[in-house]
Structure 1
Amino acid sequence: MPVEAAAEAVVGDGGETAYLATMTGFATVDVSDPTDPTVLVDREVEIGDRPLSNILDVSVDGDRLVVAGPANFGYEPMGFRCYDVSDPADPIPAGEYETGYHIHNCYLEGDLLFVAENDFDTDTNALAIFDVADGIERIGSWSLLDRDPGWRDRPFLGRYLHDVYVQDDLAYLPYWNAGTYLVDVSDPTAPEYVSHVADTTLEAQQGVAREDAVYGLPGNDHYAAVDDTGDLMAVGREAWATSGDPDRPGGIDLYDVSDTAEPVHRGSIDPPRADDETYAGRRWTTSHNFEFRDGRLYSSWYRGGVKIHDVSDPSEPEELTWWRDADETAFWTAQVLEPGETFVASSTEAIPRTSLDGALYTFPIERGTTVVDDGFDADSPSNGSESDGADDSVPGFTGAAALVGGAAGLEWLRRRGNGNVQD
């Protein structure tokens, strides 16, 4: 189903409604019949009577939806708005908050909103915690730089808090090259460090050039989540070939966190491959967002498609399902709709200089592989060091200073030589 400017998608608790970020607002979609999804609302968002733009993330829990943005530098206003979505066809505004910093991602857990606070002006990379139960009040924060101040000497985007996931009073914080941090938020006014995992070290990063540090492996912790039990954690690495080592897109690593103080790496899921794996190549097959459910991992890989893996033995993840049509889709996330039956995936149109269309797809949960012949010659990647003229926006998504509304604006974004695209 076409959804213009689609980015993140989340599924409501009842499994009958999907909520999508749409650059200038959000859409609610009735997915009660997965074969015939229907848009209920496509709404723009304002904060302080000014339009909020560059919206890439939404989060829902129960009857509350949060829409946050902008996802990158250079836009105003900045903040989030809450909605009562007890009737998804008629969302009711339920409070707004202007932050003064952009919000790339957030996570709603009950009455608490966890926000990635990356403030370039103050050189801050922190987790901000808000109570949104009755009004909106900031009540706590936690920062990588307070614990490991040496990271302040590395590029801002190389220690960026990219996303937030919370389950059972633990926050999982992917801090790009600094690693993924587990933080106890049982007292949201005083979060405490528990442990972290990392694919590289501060010492190893000292001599790394900015482009390699921000776009290439190792590192690039982009998204993290745990399974239903909280014992298995996945860390997705959004990366491109930069002539570094390894010189390929990022995959997903699996960790045993049954002892949260001592995570242990158990296995990995490799990315699909492409003939050109650089950022500028626009073939993007790196890991993006995902979800655990009932021993399976539902994952998105931009133009690499969507996959399901059986991760009941994380040392040997088994690929069950792969669907890809790289000429038509670039998947942002995969989310279970009805356990054992269906899942949904949002496809974005924002990869620079492509002609993709935003959409929401529904899929049956079944074994099999469907890969449309898309001309990707993955047997011999020609990964050069060509730069895409990347600017100081967050690696990967919409580095435009302003977003022109509607189709004309999206076309401008596609053609822009240094437009970045990352959730």
Structure 2
Amino acid sequence: MGEETGRREGPRRALLRGGGAGAAAFVLAATAAVPGAATVAEDGDVSAEGVVRVGGLPRPAPLDREGAFNSDLAFTGDHAVGGNYDGFAVYDISDPTRPSVVSTVLCPGGQGDVSVSGDLLYFSVDYPRANDECGAPAVPATDPDGFEGVRIFDISDKANPRYVAAVRTDCGSHTNTLVPGTDGEHEYVYVSSYSPSERFPQCRPPHDKVAVIEVPLADPAAARVVAEPVLFPDGGAESTTGCHDITAYPERGIAAAACLGDGLLLDISDPVRPRVLDRVRDPNFAFWHSATFTDDARYVLFTDELGGGSGAVCTEGVGPERGANAIYALNGVGDRSELDFRSYYKLPRHQTETENCVAHNGSLIPVPGQDFFVQSWYQGGVSVIDLTDPDHPVEIGHFDRGPWDPQALRTAGSWSAYYYNGHVYSSDIRHGIDVLRLTDPRLEQAQGVVMDEFNPQSQPSFSGHQHHP
């Protein structure tokens, strides 16, 4: 989500607490679940084309209270990690038709963006807590001692995640992006955040930067902020007060940053010193939210989260160019690189006035030599898009539930929809996890791409992964 999250939070009851003031000493007792738990019921009417729901799970306790929204997903082996405003869950997806909950960790902090790297999990905290313990109560952003930033967990034992470090960052962490190091001994986490105020001691304007956390792989508890590169030395657009999300393409040495009023192309060949190669603005964009490169890096797709994710903007009255995707060609090389606008894509199925709907998180479907994309649209559901002609993108499949509440506009729907090893996994804010199978024959070759790990905001090159005929 974007604008609507703000920087405030009411009191929450924490069921699991850390063991002391030193983050490295924290050990969490995770809540195990019974394998093969019942799948979530299909509520309301469902519209689907080229997509079949084959499995799923409701939000597990204790991450199922009102306001504990499901958020992003990351994947490692036969497991998915699902972020939540109150913590995260680890799912066994070895049989996609019967996913099960391996463990849950209650560690409130808002947003809950996640990235995985081997045995490490990076978790974003965007609402201030009294300290860095998992059981710490919420505090206002005016508290000079409040904690926001990134928590690091060891998930080598999926049934018992262990809390190993906490790294404070200015304005917290709305999202995080994993970038591997060049020496094999370190990796880096780019932290995006925004909404500064003179009233917030840990989040003062101007906030035209990102934080770079360096993680020594041999000692992740020693992780620390090593750089805070300023991406907007001239201040950026009037609405730009930081970045919402960064998608890195490490094998290409580039990244795309969505920074509220600006879209950026970055050189990340030196991960500690990202450099701006090009900057674009669009009068139709209200909130530059996220980005995805095509596999050959010839194009990049930016999303506009008009209404901050809580608005009903997939209506006929809003039109086809606001709250949409914008596709840019990436031309030139190195310092001559530039982004050139090609087209918009907006969900073609109009939604009702009680359904929050706008372009949100998605990933490529790895069909060799072609560009297909699966994307969440909150209550607009999941859209499967053919981007092969970047001037004329078109929807070729979808999965769309009816409104969560036909009488009132309430936040619900698919937050993230990602393709991983043969299936699409949708993190639904309220329903839980949906597992979808794509039936369009044009997408069959994607099943031959096998990944050991997948963070959608740290794009792999599909040519580097196992391919089966």
Partner of 2:424: 343
Deviation at 1:71, TM superposition (A): 5.2
Aligned 8 A contact 1:11 1:336 in 2? no
Q: For residues 230 and 27 of structure 1, what CA distance do their matches in structure 2 show?
A: 32
Q: Deviations over 1:94-123 (max 9, x none)?
A: 321123522111112231100014343421
SS of 2:95 mapped into structure 1: coil
Aligned 8 A contact 1:117 1:161 in 2? yes
1:10 pairs with 43, 58, 73, which one? 73
Partner of 2:359: 287
Q: For residues 272 and 53 of structure 1, what CA distance do their matches in structure 2 show?
A: 35
The yes-or-no answer on 1:21 pairing with 2:21 is no
Partner of 2:111: 55
**Closer, same or farther: CA 325–95 of 1 in aligned 2, 3 Å:** same
The code of the aligned residue for 2:344 comes to S
Aligned 8 A contact 2:74 2:115 in 1? no
Number of residues of Structure 1 aligned to a counterpart in Structure 2: 325
Deviation at 1:7, TM superposition (A): 2.7
1:140 pairs with 200, 209, 227, which one? 227
> Which structure 2 residues correspond to residues 296-375 of structure 1 after superposition, within 5 A?
296-328=372-404, 330-338=413-421, 341-348=422-429, 357-367=430-440
Partner of 2:235: 149
Q: For residues 68 and 267 of structure 1, what CA distance do their matches in structure 2 show?
A: 32
| Percent identity between the two aligned chains | 24
SS of 1:8 mapped into structure 2: strand
SS of 1:233 mapped into structure 2: strand
Deviation at 1:160, TM superposition (A): 4.1
Partner of 1:69: 125
The yes-or-no answer on 1:257 pairing with 2:333 is no
Q: For residues 268 and 275 of structure 1, what CA distance do their matches in structure 2 show?
A: 18
TM-score scaled to structure 1, two decimals?
0.70
Q: For residues 321 and 327 of structure 2, what CA distance do their matches in structure 1 show?
A: 18
Partner of 1:130: 213
> Which structure 2 residues correspond to residues 150-169 of structure 1 after superposition, within 5 A?
151=237, 154-155=238-239, 158-168=240-250, 169=253
**Closer, same or farther: CA 174–150 of 1 in aligned 2, 3 Å:** closer
Q: For residues 218 and 89 of structure 1, what CA distance do their matches in structure 2 show?
A: 42
Aligned 8 A contact 2:345 2:394 in 1? no
Q: For residues 188 and 127 of structure 2, what CA distance do their matches in structure 1 show?
A: 20
Q: Deviations over 1:139-191 (max 9, x none)?
A: 22222431x3264xx35xx54411111112322111122x2111212223332
TM-score scaled to structure 2, two decimals?
0.64
Partner of 1:170: 254
For CA contacts below 8 A with separation 6 or more, give which structure has more relative contact order: 2
Gaps of 5+ in 2: 1-56, 129-138, 181-186, 198-202, 308-312, 405-411, 442-469
Aligned 8 A contact 2:72 2:83 in 1? yes
Aligned 8 A contact 1:291 1:297 in 2? yes
1:227 pairs with 294, 300, 305, which one? 294
**Closer, same or farther: CA 173–186 of 1 in aligned 2, 3 Å:** same
Aligned 8 A contact 2:72 2:112 in 1? no
Q: For residues 92 and 343 of structure 1, what CA distance do their matches in structure 2 show?
A: 28
**Closer, same or farther: CA 34–243 of 1 in aligned 2, 3 Å:** closer
SS of 1:132 mapped into structure 2: strand
Q: For residues 257 and 151 of structure 2, what CA distance do their matches in structure 1 show?
A: 22
Aligned 8 A contact 2:188 2:215 in 1? yes
The code of the aligned residue for 1:238 comes to E
Q: For residues 162 and 94 of structure 1, what CA distance do their matches in structure 2 show?
A: 26
Deviation at 1:13, TM superposition (A): 3.7
Q: For residues 241 and 109 of structure 2, what CA distance do their matches in structure 1 show?
A: 24
The code of the aligned residue for 1:131 comes to E
Q: For residues 231 and 321 of structure 2, what CA distance do their matches in structure 1 show?
A: 27
